[in-house]
Each structure stands twice: as C-alpha cells, then as structure tokens.
C-alpha cells in the first residue's frame, strides 16, 4: 500500500444532482493540486465506490508537477455532475457497504457531495473505516440540517422564478389561473420562497398540514378573490411537491367549484426536473467554492465524520479558516435534517409561522 501522503483524495457526488456540484468538484481539485495531492472522482456515487469505478481528476503537468484535468477545469458553469450519481440500496446495510470500506483504504480521504441520504452514507463510512470522510451539502430541497444554504438551492429558485415569470405572461393575456408545482420533496422551502419572490396569490406546502378539502377551498378562495374582488388578470399559486394531492387533480377539483365564474381558466403546470438543471448561479458557484476549499482542508487535517456548513442557523459548529463556513458532526446534521422534515426544528416552525403571517398579504 502507498504511503498516506501519496494517496489521492476521492470526490463523490451522490443522490439527486444539484447545480453547483461540478463547481465544487473543480474547486476541490484545484486546491488539492495546489497542495500537491492527487484527486480521483468516484463515478456514479456510492455504486461506483462499491465497484471501484474511479477516474483521475488530476494529471502530470508539462513541468513534471501535478495539474488539473482539462475537463475538470471547465466545470464551473456546467449543471448536473460529470461524475454521475445513483441511488444505491446496497449501501443501507453494513454488509452491503463492506466493499466501499475496503476501497477507502486506497484513499487519503473522501469528500461526499450530496443531500441527506448521501450524508447518511458518509456517516456510516466514517464510523466503519479509518479514512477521513467529509460531507458537503448539495440539495435543491434545502432540507439539510445545520447549514444556512445547500449548493443548488439558489439556482433552483432562480429557475422557478424565471419559469413563473413566463407563465404569468401568458396567464395575463388569457385571464388564467395557474397552479405551479415545484420540487423540494418533503420540504416546502422552494415553494415558500418562490411565492414571496413572485407575489403569488397563495402557496401550498406540506408543513401546513392541510387535507385535500382544505387545499381545494384555499385555492378556490384565492382565485375568486383575485378575479372577482380585485379584478386581477392572472392568478399564480405555488404548490410544493410534498403536498400529496396531484397538481392536475387539485386543478380539476377547483375548476369544478368555479364553474359559475365566466371566462376563468385554471391550469396546472409541474416544473419537475426542470428545476434541477441549468448553469449554477453566482451564489451557488461562490458557496460551492468556499465549502469545497474547507472540505479539502478538513480532509488534509484528518477531520472525519463531519460536514462543512454555510452560515449555519444552529449552534454547535466548529469554526474553520473561512468565517462563513463551520464544521458540524454528521450525527448532528442528520438529526437536524430529520427535525426539519418532521416539523420539530425551530427553523421549520419559524418558516411556517412567517408564511402564516403573510398569507393574507399574498393575495392582495
């Protein structure tokens, strides 16, 4: 086995792709090269780690030193992840993870870029191996605990707002109401934030705890008030993916109750995976760069079972060389992530409270 100093750092992207994943890979590779450390990328997430599928992200330079692969150097503006990603059920058990633990012996450390499922896998690897494992939050859902922002969230919001701007153009032209569903899994943050940014008439998210009947009543009321009482030309309602009533069913039920209104058309639009794609925004590139730099520094200093977090909203993080980036134990990150989804986190409670407070303002 090679001495630890000559072993490469492994970079892995896992779970749902997010704009900015490639940007963080580029920054981490550049920083490692500046420290004379080679880097390999693990292909297709944890599946690739189990099967030993790795590709060099560094190469010998003309001067005999270490350089960055030319493809990697162009990654900053590219969405998705060039390493690929996959859901890997074998990683759910210690027996299934065993080949990955063995593969880590050939690495100086591993940086895992992804959301909660990916970070749960990183926590397992860190506890089952002696190799440093560091997580970087990347998920458009904004449901990763202990970080004020995850890579991909800002780009996703910009995509949603841009799409809704276009929808509103045609809605005004035809006196239409649109219910637009956005991604976010069980977290309603994207819908909430986009509704405020767009001046939507209403927003529906799982954390409200509404049943189907109350959802229908809320949407019907918002449309009636906008068209009949306020004389608006368009109505925009944001619906989070976590609201289980399908968008088309919701619109059909609402339309049946609005049959008395003349010339009112209600349409459903599901943005779906459109929200995941596209070149990362400035903010996502900047956050990716700063998280990536601290992640590599952390591996080189032997930190493990930890995640780097951007401007955290919870206490307990460890300061790093970047005043905006803190390190949190992965166990704490995963516990806070669960609390964000089940509603026990003060952050989720504050979001819901703020949305309740402006509910009467949205439709004005």
Clarify whether residues 130 and 159 are in a common domain: no
Same domain for 93 and 212, yes or no, is no
For residues 236 and 204, give the distance between their C-alpha atoms in angstroms, rounded to a whole number: 11
Residue 354 forms part of a structural domain: no
Same domain, 57 and 143: yes
E-state strands within 99-244: 109-114, 133-137, 176-182, 202-204, 235-240
Question: For 23-40, how does the pLDDT look when each residue is reduced to its tens digit (9 = 90+)?
Answer: 999 999 999 999 999 999
Pairing of strands 325-329, 306-310: antiparallel
Write the CATH number for 180: 3.40.50.460
Residues 158 and 291 in one domain: no
Share of the chain above pLDDT 70, in %: 98
DSSP state of 225: I
Q: How far apart are CA 89 and CA 183, in angstroms?
A: 23
3-state SS, residue 49:
helix
pTM comes to 0.93
Q: Looking at the annotation, which residues are catalytic?
A: 141
| 10 and 146 belong to one structural domain | yes
- Do 196 and 326 fall into the same domain? no
Residue 82 near residue 71, CB atoms below 8 Å? yes
The answer on pLDDT for 357 being more than 70 is yes
**How many domains are contained in the chain?**
2
Together in a domain, 62 and 125:
yes
- pLDDT value, residue 230: 79
| pLDDT confidence of residue 4 | 53
Q: 30: domain range?
A: 4-152+280-342
110 in the same domain as 163: no
SS3 186: coil
Residues 131 and 241 in one domain: no
User: Residues 121, 224: one domain?
Assistant: no
pLDDT tens readout for residues 299-348 = 999 999 999 999 998 998 999 999 999 999 999 999 999 999 999 999 99
CATH number reported for the structural domain that contains residue 322 in this entry? 3.40.50.450
């Amino acid at each position: 086995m090679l001495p630890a100093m000559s072993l490469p750092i492994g970079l892995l992207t896992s779970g749902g792709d997010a704009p900015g994943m490639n940007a963080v890979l580029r920054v981490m590779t550049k920083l490692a090269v500046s420290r004379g450390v080679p880097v390999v990328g693990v292909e297709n997430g944890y599946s690739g780690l189990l099967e030993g599928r790795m590709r060099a992200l560094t190469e010998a330079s003309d001067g005999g030193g270490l350089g960055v692969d030319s493809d990697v150097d162009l990654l900053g503006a590219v969405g998705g992840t060039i390493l690929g990603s996959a859901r890997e059920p074998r990683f759910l058990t210690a027996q299934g993870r065993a080949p990955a633990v063995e593969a880590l012996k050939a690495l100086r450390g591993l940086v895992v870029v992804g959301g909660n499922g990916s970070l749960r896998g990183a926590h397992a690897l860190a506890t089952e191996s002696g190799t440093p494992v560091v997580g970087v939050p990347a998920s458009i859902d904004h449901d990763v605990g202990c970080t004020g922002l995850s890579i991909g969230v800002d780009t996703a919001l910009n995509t949603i707002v841009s799409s809704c701007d276009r929808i509103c153009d045609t809605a005004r032209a035809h006196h239409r109401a649109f219910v637009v569903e956005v991604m976010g899994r069980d977290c309603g943050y994207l819908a909430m934030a986009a509704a405020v940014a767009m001046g939507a008439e209403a927003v529906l998210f799982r954390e409200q705890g509404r049943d189907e009947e109350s959802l229908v009543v809320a949407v019907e009321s918002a449309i009636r008030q906008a068209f009949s009482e306020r004389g608006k030309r368009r109505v925009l309602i944001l619906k989070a993916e976590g609201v289980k009533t399908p968008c088309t069913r919701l619109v059909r039920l609402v339309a049946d109750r609005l049959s008395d209104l003349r010339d009112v058309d209600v349409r459903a639009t599901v943005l779906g995976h459109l929200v995941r794609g596209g070149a990362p925004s400035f903010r996502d590139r900047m956050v990716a760069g700063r998280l990536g730099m601290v992640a590599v520094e952390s591996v080189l200093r032997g930190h493990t079972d930890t995640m780097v977090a951007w401007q955290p909203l919870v206490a307990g993080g460890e300061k790093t060389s970047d005043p905006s980036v803190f390190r949190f134990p992965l166990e704490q990150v995963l516990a806070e992530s669960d609390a964000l989804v089940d509603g026990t986190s003060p952050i989720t409670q504050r979001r819901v409270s703020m949305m309740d407070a402006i509910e009467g303002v949205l439709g004005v």
